[in-house]
Amino acid sequence: MGAMKWRKLSYTGSNGGDCVEVALDSITGAVGVRDSKAPNTGQLALTVDVWATLTASIKAGRYDQC
């Protein structure tokens, strides 16, 4: 992935918990996802369709713990 402008997800909050950043690669169209507390440890590259499916599943509570 090329140079990307990363932004923290709005749901991350300010409590110092788990933080996720995302960026769109304008060349490939991939959505980059990384840990904001360890940005140099790697990142995921997802297609826009996979990103949309993942975020819809999260919003629907599919990954909530009981």
**Per-residue model confidence (pLDDT) at position 64:** 86
As a whole number, mean pLDDT of residues 11-37 equals 81
What is the separation of C-alpha 50 from the centre of its chain, rounded to a whole number of angstroms?
Answer: 11
Q: Is the pLDDT of residue 21 over 70?
A: yes
Q: Is the pLDDT of residue 16 over 90?
A: no
Predicted TM-score (pTM) of this structure = 0.73
Beta strands in 1-66 (DSSP E): 7-8, 20-24, 31-35, 44-46
